[in-house]
Amino acid sequence: MSRSSASRALRRVGLALAALLLVPATVLGATTSITITNAAPTVTSAALPSTSVSPTAGGVTNVTATLVITDLNGCNDLASVVAEVRTPGGAVHTASSAASYVSCSAGTAATYRYVFPMRFHDAPAALETGYQLRVTATDKQGATGTNLVSPLVFAYAELAAIQLDRSTFNFGASVAPAAQSDILALAVQNAGNVQVDTQLAATALAHASEDASIPVSALRYSLASNMSDATAMGSSSTTLSSFDLGAGAASSRSLYWRLAVPSGDAQWVPSGTYTGTVTVSAVKG
């Protein structure tokens, strides 16, 4: 075969190959499907800043719990997270209410915040038998997850505290030497969560400008409104163990006071204003 004949043969082959490359391939189609199941949410964790909560005297301690709820279908699948607090005896302390959404981590771990009140007169409890925080999470399909098998348990500390209805005793502006003042009442409210007694102490009443004073023993106190069992005050703290003021939201009891002014034949009693200090404090009793 001559060179020109061979060249024409190669061109024919090349054209034939090119013709083969231009033939379209047949494409076969298929339908793909999958059904995703719903995963119930789980309460991954419930935590407090401390597992021992301290009361606020005469007030409320607001406690913030951090809750983490995991839903494998995603944080957006959660419909609600509610919590409640139960007493050591199992009674409802704080009724169920919604927790507040905070953030989502890794698409499936949602953080919520739940704030609940602990009142000053709520009964103290040790950690072993403490208050319980119970959490229930519900997704948009109605599936739920709880921590009821292992609720968060926290202690509530004891608090011996009182509040007084006055900060000043004014025994009068015109009490004569050798006379007694009017009887004054001091209301003492239990501001803690345990029964309390009172501890009492006082100072002598000093004259505003003269070097004179009324002795501390001239000040008397009593649990009886008529001062029938009056006791003289002392400068050292004394516990009134019969006070026995029980805990409670409005638990209160009065102490009664009177000042017996010395006579001029016993000591110098110049006219004028005398002042001193009375200290009333709480002790568990």
pLDDT of 108-122, one tens digit each? 999 999 999 999 999
Q: Is residue 7 part of a domain?
A: no
Q: Is residue 35 part of a domain?
A: no
Q: Is residue 25 part of a domain?
A: no
Q: Is residue 273 part of a domain?
A: yes
Same domain, 124 and 191: no
pLDDT of residue 90: 94
> Which residue carries 């004014």 as its tokens?
170
pTM of the predicted protein model: 0.82
Instruction: From 156, 172, 205, give the residue that closes a domain.
Output: 156
Same domain, 214 and 129: no
> Can you give the CATH number for the domain in which 74 is found?
2.60.40.10
Same domain, 61 and 91: yes
Instruction: From 156, 186, 211, give the residue that closes a domain.
Output: 156
- 196's CB contacts (< 8 A; 6+ apart) are 160, 161, 162, 190, 243, 245, 282, 283, 284, 285
pLDDT of residue 15: 43
Q: Is residue 229 part of a domain?
A: yes
Q: Is residue 128 part of a domain?
A: yes
Q: Is residue 231 part of a domain?
A: yes
Q: How many domains does the chain have?
A: 2
Token pair belonging to 234 = 């002392």
Instruction: From 109, 137, 156, give the residue that closes a domain.
Output: 156
pLDDT of 24 over the 70 cut: no
Same domain, 150 and 183: no
Same domain, 103 and 143: yes
Would you give the distance in Å from CA 31 to the centre of its chain?
58
Confidence label for 25 from pLDDT (cuts 50, 70 and 90): low
- 283's CB contacts (< 8 A; 6+ apart) are 160, 196, 197, 198, 199, 239
Domain that holds residue 194: 162-284
How many other C-beta atoms are found inside a 10 Å radius of the C-beta of residue 72? Answer: 14
Same domain, 173 and 150: no
Asked if residues 236 and 201 have their Cβ atoms less than 8 Å apart, the reply is yes
Residue in 191, 228, 201, 233 with CA at minimum distance from that of residue 216 = 233
Average pLDDT score over residue span 114-142: 97
pLDDT of 251 over the 90 cut: yes
Q: Which element (helix H / strand E) includes 238? A: strand 238-245
Would you give the distance in Å from CA 8 to the centre of its chain?
99
Separation in Å, CA 117 to CA 33, 95, 126: 50, 11, 18
Same domain, 167 and 224: yes
> Can you give the CATH number for the domain in which 276 is found?
2.60.40
Q: Is residue 2 part of a domain?
A: no
The pLDDT tens digits for 54-83 are: 999 999 999 999 999 999 999 999 999 999
Same domain, 169 and 66: no
- 256's CB contacts (< 8 A; 6+ apart) are 183, 184, 185, 186, 221, 222, 223, 224, 225, 227
Q: Measure the CA–CA gap between 217 and 208, rounded to whole angstroms.
A: 19
Q: Measure the CA–CA gap between 226 and 203, rounded to whole angstroms.
A: 24
Same domain, 128 and 228: no
